[in-house]
Amino acid sequence: MQKDLEEKFLADFKNNQNIVHKICRIYTTNADAHNDLFQEITIQLWKNYPKFRGDSKFSTWMYRVALNTSISLYRKSTKRISTQDFDDVAFKVKSHEYDDTKEVQLNALYNAIHKLSDIEKALIFLYLENKSYDEISETLGISNGNARVKMNRAKEKLKTILNP
Distance from C-alpha of 133 to C-alpha of 151, rounded to nearest angstrom: 9
For residue 23, being part of any structural domain is answered with yes
Alpha-carbon torsion, ordered 59, 139, 65, 8, to 10 deg = -30
What pLDDT, on the 0 to 100 scale, is given for residue 99?
64
Q: Are residues 55 and 11 in the same domain?
A: yes
Q: Are residues 17 and 77 in the same domain?
A: yes
What pLDDT, on the 0 to 100 scale, is given for residue 49?
85
CB hemisphere CA count around 157 (13 angstroms): 18
Q: Are residues 25 and 68 in the same domain?
A: yes
What pLDDT, on the 0 to 100 scale, is given for residue 116?
87
Q: What is the largest CA-CA distance in the chain?
A: 57
For residue 72, being part of any structural domain is answered with yes
Containing domain of residue 137, as a range?
99-164
CATH of residue 66's domain is 1.10.1740.10
pLDDT string in tens for the chain (164-residue length): 577 888 888 888 888 888 888 888 888 888 888 889 899 998 998 898 888 887 888 888 888 889 888 888 777 665 555 555 655 545 544 445 556 778 888 888 888 888 988 889 888 888 888 889 999 888 888 999 999 999 899 999 989 988 88
What pLDDT, on the 0 to 100 scale, is given for residue 95?
42
What pLDDT, on the 0 to 100 scale, is given for residue 157?
92
What pLDDT, on the 0 to 100 scale, is given for residue 148?
92
What pLDDT, on the 0 to 100 scale, is given for residue 93?
44
Q: Are residues 162 and 119 in the same domain?
A: yes
Q: Are residues 61 and 114 in the same domain?
A: no
3-state secondary structure 3-70: HHHHHHHHHHHHHHHHHHHHHHHHHCCCHHHHHHHHHHHHHHHHHHHHHCCCCCCHHHHHHHHHHHHH
What pLDDT, on the 0 to 100 scale, is given for residue 143?
92
Q: Are residues 6 and 45 in the same domain?
A: yes
Q: Are residues 24 and 52 in the same domain?
A: yes
Distance from C-alpha of 101 to C-alpha of 84, rounded to nearest angstrom: 26
Amino acid occupying residue 54 = G
- Per the structure, how many domains does the chain have? 2
For residue 76, being part of any structural domain is answered with yes
Burial of 124 (0-12, 13-18, 19+ CB in 10 A): buried
What pLDDT, on the 0 to 100 scale, is given for residue 79?
56
Q: Are residues 76 and 104 in the same domain?
A: no
What pLDDT, on the 0 to 100 scale, is given for residue 94?
44
**74-92 as b/e: b if 16+ CB within 10 A:** beeeeeeeeeeeeeeeeee
Q: Are residues 75 and 117 in the same domain?
A: no
